Structures are given as structure tokens and as C-alpha cells.
Amino acid sequence: MKKIGILTSGGDAPGLNAAIRGVVKSAKELHNMETVGFYFGFGGLIDNNYTTINETSGLLTKGGTILKTSRIKPFKGEDKDEKIKSILHNYRNHDLSALVIIGGNGTQKTAYNLSKELGLNIITLPKTIDNDISGTDVSFGFSSAVDIATEAIDRVHSTASSHNRVMIVEVMGHKAGWIGLHAGLSSGSDIILLPEIPFSFKKVYEAINKRVEQRKNSTIICVAEGAFSHDEIELLPAELASKRKFRSIGQRLARKIEKHTPYESRLTVLGYVQRGGSPNAFDRNLATILGANVANLIEARNFGNMVGYIDNEAKIVPLIDVAGYLKTVEKDNQGLVAARSIGISFGD
């Protein structure tokens, strides 16, 4: 009986358990393979902390990851040689036919290195709420995060209009604006601020004032955590670092709006709420479709690839085309163009 390993690495995201289920069930069903799960990402592979996954009941809808996760990086740190030695030892000792790695951008890079440098048989799946992985149109976790952020912003509209306030909702996304753009658009936000489009505080005040001139007495701003302003680029690096350390972009924005406009402003930082809980239907199916492709790739010894989702189909994408690339929102993105066409301001 062939044995495969699986681990989840990086931030948790809705759909991780559905993907584990897809891999484990199809491996058993199609090729009678057994699956061993390593705990805490690469940590479990280094420490040989593992379990045999026999039971997948209830996994489809469950949030987080039953295998736990961590941001441990095997190729970083003073102890990297020992970590790599342990990985090789445990991989061989378990007699693994392949290792399935589920993770985001950084994880894909590590997976590529494990395949290229150590010659391990690697297949990856794209997971992240940030949707910033190259080689796939979408990663699982993203759609659920957008749903949660949309509902949260929908609810903030009531306070905005009842108090005539400027309400800011800060969403995640790291260096990419996918959650900000999609949740901002679907929630009817008036201003959307993204890392890809440096903004000016002055333009934000102007957009708020323009709404008041149109007798719209409240404004909703959806700001991505990685957004930044032109004005702050001019600050000395140390000054900027201290601002960023103590205040998020949402906090800095709320303070400035109160100082430079006559309006009250309040901030909601969604944080880990948008990463938690059960995956939506799209993410359950995406994770299952991608996960169910893994066993055939292993059987065909087609390694060093990610199973991506392109044009609504699972596609095999070489890890060399994924690792080290960041997928960000481009200027001609249809959502962005549509948002501009209906008068949403990006503060630029």
C-alpha cells in the first residue's frame, strides 16, 4: 500500500479541511493509498509529529485545519541544516510516495525548494484568503473571507447612516488588495483603498466631501491592511515604521479624517473573523475539486506541481511558475474598472 504525507502551512483558511478530505478520500478510493498527516505545517515534518488519517467525517464543513498549522520555514534560520536533515530523514523513514503541501504564497516557495533542492515528490494546493497565489485564478478561503467581510460591511451601513459618520472597515489581504476590492465592491463601499493603488489622504477627504455635497451624509471606506498613502511614502523610513508599528492604516485614516474633515469617523478591524469558521459552498467545492486531483498526479508520478484553478477547471501548474510570484490586482481588473465606472473612489 502506497503512503502519502500531507500538511497544512501558513495562516488557516476556510476550506483547508475540505481539501484534506478531498485528498485523503480520493487517494484511498482511486489508488488505495494511505495518508499520513503532519501537524503544525513543516514543524510536524521536522519533529515527526504525525497521525494516520482514517476518518474524514465532518471535515467538509469544518473551519481551520485538523492538522494544525504554523509559519515554520525549513530553509530559514540558523538551524536550517538540522531542519532539512530531519525532513529528509522523516520523509524517507515513512517511505512516502509523495508529500502534499497545502498553503499560501510563502508555502509554495518552500514546497518548490523541497522539490528542487531535496528532490522530494511534491504536489501543492493553493490556500489563502488573500488570493495572491500565482498560477491559479482563485485560492480556497478567499471566497468565504469575502462573504464574511461583505456581511460585516453591510452591517456597518446602519451606523454610518444613523450617525452621519465615516465608517472604515479594515480587511486583510497582506500585500494584495483582492479581499478589499471584492468585499468593497459587493458591500457598496464608497471608497476602496488597496495596496496596489497608493492613495492620497486629500483625495479621500475630497471624496467624503463630494458625497456630502450630493446629500449623502455618510461614507463607507473599505481599506485593505496593506494600503498606503503617497503622503506617507515621503516620511523618513524610521518615522513611517513607528507609525505603522503603533497604528494600522485604518487607525491612521480614522484619526486623520476626524482632524481634517468635520465628520466623525469610526474603525472596525475585521482581523481573524474573516478567516474563521465554515467554508462557503464555493470554497468547499473548490477545495474538493483540487484535492481530488492529487491522487492521480501521484500515481502518474507527476511531481513538482500545484493543482490550480484556471478558467473554472483544475489545472496542473509547475511550481517554478508559482514560487516567488505575487498575484496582485492589476489596473485593468474588471472589478476595479467597474468600481471606478460607478464612481467608487480609490483615493488616487
Nearest Cα neighbor of 141 from 246, 49, 274 is 274
Beta carbon of residue 177, minimum distance to ligand F6P (angstroms, whole number): 11
- What burial letters (b/e) apply to 79-117, b meaning 16+ CB within 10 Å? eeeebbebbeebbeebebbbbbbbbbbbbbbbbbbbbee
The three grid cell numbers given for residue 2, joined into one nine-digit string: 502506497
Q: Would strands 219-224 and 191-193 be described as parallel, antiparallel, or unpaired?
A: parallel
How far apart are alpha carbons 256 and 299 in whole angstroms? Answer: 58
Q: How far is CA 147 from CA 129, 133, 274, 290, 326, in A?
A: 11, 19, 8, 21, 23
How far apart are alpha carbons 243 and 30 in whole angstroms? Answer: 54
Beta carbon of residue 13, minimum distance to ligand F6P (angstroms, whole number): 7
Beta carbon of residue 170, minimum distance to ligand F6P (angstroms, whole number): 11
Give the residue with the Cβ less far from ligand F6P, 27 or 146. 146
Q: Would strands 50-52 and 34-38 be described as parallel, antiparallel, or unpaired?
A: antiparallel
Give the residue with the Cβ less far from ligand F6P, 103 or 304. 103
Q: Would strands 265-269 and 166-171 be described as parallel, antiparallel, or unpaired?
A: parallel
| Cβ atoms of 86 and 50 closer than 8 Å | no
* Sign of the torsion angle spanned by Cα atoms 191, 194, 199, 197: negative
Nearest Cα neighbor of 128 from 250, 13, 293 is 13
Beta carbon of residue 103, minimum distance to ligand F6P (angstroms, whole number): 10
What residue type is 180 in one-letter code?
A: G
Beta carbon of residue 174, minimum distance to ligand F6P (angstroms, whole number): 4
Give the residue with the Cβ less far from ligand F6P, 66 or 172. 172
| Cβ atoms of 199 and 346 closer than 8 Å | yes
Active site residue 130: yes
Beta carbon of residue 206, minimum distance to ligand F6P (angstroms, whole number): 29
φ, ψ for residue 3, nearest 5 deg: -120, 135
Give the residue with the Cβ less far from ligand F6P, 11 or 44. 11
Footprint of ligand F6P (CB under 6 A): 11, 104, 128-130, 172-174, 225, 275
Give the residue with the Cβ less far from ligand F6P, 269 or 297. 269
Catalytic: which of 12, 130, 147, 190? 130
Q: What SS3 class is residue 185?
A: helix
| Cβ atoms of 304 and 135 closer than 8 Å | no
Give the residue with the Cβ less far from ligand F6P, 272 or 338. 272
Beta carbon of residue 213, minimum distance to ligand F6P (angstroms, whole number): 35
CA 334-338-340 angle, 5° bins: 120
Give the residue with the Cβ less far from ligand F6P, 129 or 290. 129
Q: Which residues are catalytic?
A: 130
